[in-house]
Amino acid sequence: MSAADIPEGTVRNILEQDTLKWVFVGGKGGVGKTTCSSILSILLAQVRSSVLIISTDPAHNLSDVFQQRFTKTPTLVNGFSNLYAMEVDPNVENDDIGGNEGMDSLFSELSNAIPGIDEAMSFAEMLKLVQTMGYSCIVFDTAPTGHTLRLLQLPSTLEKGLQKVMSLKSKFGGLISQMTRLFGLDDEFGEDAILGRLESMKDVIEKVNKQFKDPGSGRYLMKVSEVMDLTTFVCVCIPEFLSLYETERLVQELAKVEIDTHNIIINQVLYDEEDVESKLLKARMRMQKKYLDQFYMLYDDFNITKLPLLPQEVTGVESLKAFSRNFISPYQPSTSRGTVEDVERRISTLKLQLEDTEAELDRHRKGKQKV
């Protein structure tokens, strides 16, 4: 592959892809997913009419990153007119799928009887709510890899579960009708009411499932301009072995569930800026270079964005905006060696270090002569 064929190391392809509706950001724990998803939502807000960022990680960090309190209700982010944020727990609660009486209670008990369907229903309700709000694009700040993969599989899980429930209609439909008449219950508990509720949810899930599916051919996709993708997954990682391994597993699993991914963000990269003297930093740079080379070898058809390791945390809207420039143009390490005063100060320090070293060497020589 020639240099001209290598995808650009930015997220511009996501910003320019007008068809995107769902953007998932995920990866191994502690690699900077929340920071990256927050910055991505800020950049999308510059080119979209309205953007919503949702945290599905039980250990929410959106409020910390934006330095603003968020709840399970979409809240306008301070300093923006079209960016909203919310923090939700993907684990289902009875209040989310129904009350304690009548049909809602029965529906809740029925849902809990199907393994894995409780989370799926909660996810479905959340997506149903989001769809009614009419946001141009929704960014998901997801939990670590394993939880995220299960969350992305929930639409399929719920679809299969509801299909099984619907298949029982021919076997138990008459029994349900007889029981409701026997106990004098109203039509709220009738066969048509229960199955109608399930059918309506099944329709929502099928719609979401179709939007999540990648119209391309798995991992090796056609050009973005040739497909009408609604969903994409951005993998966030750091240049270390475990993160590389987890990213490869994530990419493979996403291909299995037919979810598009063509962007990787490598965070916390060390650059050889100025004159780095620390042996530890130099060793870490050599280690990172080895894994960076492997990333480029494995994902030569991906847009790989490298972000520098900073001496401070990126929190607050202004810090996020400042750091976002590294998402739309490749980071360039500083090659400046400082002012003349800085160089003279450095030379003076090196001279003092040299004098101390020579004095230490003389002491060792005298000690050997005495012996």
Residue numbers in the known binding site for ATP are 28-35, 240, 267
Q: Which two tokens stand for residue 157?
A: 């899980």
Q: Which of 57, 118, 214, 260 is catalytic?
A: 57
* Residue of 358, 371, 237 lying closest to 299 (CA atoms): 237
- Which residues in 68-107 are b (16+ Cβ under 10 Å) and which e? bebeeebbebeebebbbbbbbbbebeeebbbeeeebbebb
Question: Is residue 203 classed as helix, strand or coil in its secondary structure?
Answer: helix
Distance from CA of residue 69 to its chain's centroid?
A: 20
Element (H, E) at 63: helix 62-66
Give the integer Cα–Cα distance in Å for 174 and 23: 44
Instruction: Report how far residue 210's alpha carbon sits from residue 206's, in angstroms, rounded to the nearest whole number.
Output: 6
CA nearest neighbour of 25 among 220, 302, 247, 185: 247
Rounded-to-integer distance, Cα 253 and Cα 264, Å: 15
First to last CA, the chain: 66
- Name the amino acid, one letter, at 6: I
109 in the Ramachandran plot: left (φ > 0), alpha (ψ -120 to 50) or beta? alpha
Q: What does the alpha-carbon distance between residue 65 and residue 36 come to, in Å, rounded to a whole number?
A: 10
Q: What are the contacts of 88-94 at 24+ separation with CB within 8 A?
A: 88/54, 88/55, 88/56, 88/126, 89/58, 89/122, 90/56, 90/58, 90/119, 90/122, 90/123, 90/126, 90/143, 90/151, 91/58, 91/118, 91/119, 91/122, 92/118, 92/119, 92/121, 92/122, 93/122
What DSSP character marks residue 313? -
* Residue 365 tokens, joined: 């020589």
57 is catalytic: yes
Q: Could you give the residue numbers annotated as active site?
A: 57
